[in-house]
Amino acid sequence: MNAVLERKRRQRTPTIVAEYDAAADAKRRISLRSTKSKYFRVSVLSDGTVLLQPQVLVRRDSISPRVMKMIDAAAENLKKGQASPPIDLRPFQED
């Protein structure tokens, strides 16, 4: 029986590319410098650390016309108040 051993891949740890101090303004906002992304997923950890992960939004023209038509119809129905009652997902939650 022949066994194939796979090489363990080293996990790359991120390195600091830029570091600067930022102060929150009166509305508790900060400005980010030299960002490559416009949208971020923000996670606030229990120790107060804030983690920003860049998000890439899907371009509208990359969605098929059929799907766009379905999305537009669903949005119109929602505006008209034609929506199903909320779905109870509690039976599917894992404890």
pLDDT above 70: percentage of residues in the chain: 87
CB-based burial label for 44 (10 Å; 0-12, 13-18, 19+): exposed
Give the separation between CA 90 and CA 59, rounded to whole angstroms.
34
Residue 1 has pLDDT above 60, yes or no: no
Q: Where are the domains of the chain?
A: 58-83
> Residue 95: pLDDT above 80?
no
pLDDT digits (tens, 9 = 90+) for 19-59: 888 888 999 888 888 888 888 888 988 888 888 888 888 88
**pLDDT band per the 50, 70, 90 thresholds, residue 74:** very high
Cα distance between the two ends of the chain: 43
Residue 14 has pLDDT above 70, yes or no: yes
